[in-house]
Amino acid sequence: DTAVSQTPKYLVTQMGNDKSIKCEQNLGHDTMYWYKQDSKKFLKIMFSYNNKELIINETVPNRFSPKSPDKAHLNLHINSLELGDSAVYFCASSQTGSIKQPQHFGDGTRLSIL
Amino acid sequence: AQKITQTQPGMFVQEKEAVTLDCTYDTSDPSYGLFWYKQPSSGEMIFLIYQGSYDQQNATEGRYSLNFQKARKSANLVISASQLGDSAMYFCAMTIIQGAQKLVFGQGTRLTINP
């Protein structure tokens, strides 16, 4: 009964490769997010989708392309991976208009670029 | 733009003592929400407590309470009777009510509870 699930949990790959991270939520929320946590533990928003529509794109390189096939899923595809992409990527979800309700986070995907 | 500042990179506390984790924020928007999240060494983000900018009373959730001082723009987390399991990174975050409700995070504080 996991609320926000991400796969894979770990991703180790070579520089220059293309990889995807999948995220699904079963909370019935209409908004989903991708956050990046760097090596210093700093968390920063990357993207947000509301009902499959992109509403936040925080100056992320266009090698990163989110896709939301429906409001329960938000995937992240990364092309031409670079060393600086090594980080933990968190998916989250929330319900628009319910600011008191916290964003629910997945367990994160640890991406390591060799 | 919103900004969150956590000035304590690390805190060390004896078990059973109370601990206060500092958080100051900056926003020009009058309507906002403040959150605290816990990230244990296993990596997941756990929601702890929420405070709305218009809430008259300080939020409390079990052993967690939020010392909200709006004029000072501070939202400190107080953990009473600390336990070994409280050892973790703690993040203060905020969002504004209007528009896309992204969370803006502080740098985090690593709390270590000593037995």
CB pair distance less than 8 Å for A99 and B52: yes
Output the pLDDT for position A103: 92
* A27 CA: distance to closest CA in chain B (Å): 15
Q: Is the model's pLDDT at B4 over the cut of 80?
A: yes
- B43 interfaces chain A, CB cutoff of 8 Å: yes
Cis previous bond, A8, omega within 30: yes
pLDDT of B101 above 90 = no
Which pLDDT belongs to residue A96?
Answer: 80
> Is residue A100's pLDDT more than 80?
no
Q: What is the pLDDT of residues B31-48, one digit of tens each?
A: 899 999 999 999 999 999
pLDDT band at A1 (very low <50, low <70, confident <90, very high): low
**Nearest-CA residue of chain A relative to B42?**
A107
Averaged pLDDT of chain B = 94
pLDDT attached to residue A39: 94
Min CA distance, B66 vs chain A (Å)? 14
> What per-residue confidence (pLDDT) applies to B96?
79
Residue A102 has what pLDDT?
87
Please write the tens of the pLDDT for every residue from B16-28: 999 999 999 999 9
Which residues make Cβ contacts (< 8 Å) with residue B2, sequence separation at least 6? B25, B26, B27, B29, B32, B94, B95, B96, B104
Tens digit of each residue's pLDDT (9 = 90 or more) over A6-52 = 999 999 999 999 999 999 999 999 999 999 999 999 999 999 998 88
Six-digit token string for B17 = 């003592």
pLDDT band at B2 (very low <50, low <70, confident <90, very high): confident
| pLDDT, position A58 | 87
Give B51-100 pLDDT, tens digit per residue: 999 999 999 999 999 999 999 999 999 999 999 999 999 999 999 766 66
A58/A62 Cα distance (integer angstroms): 11
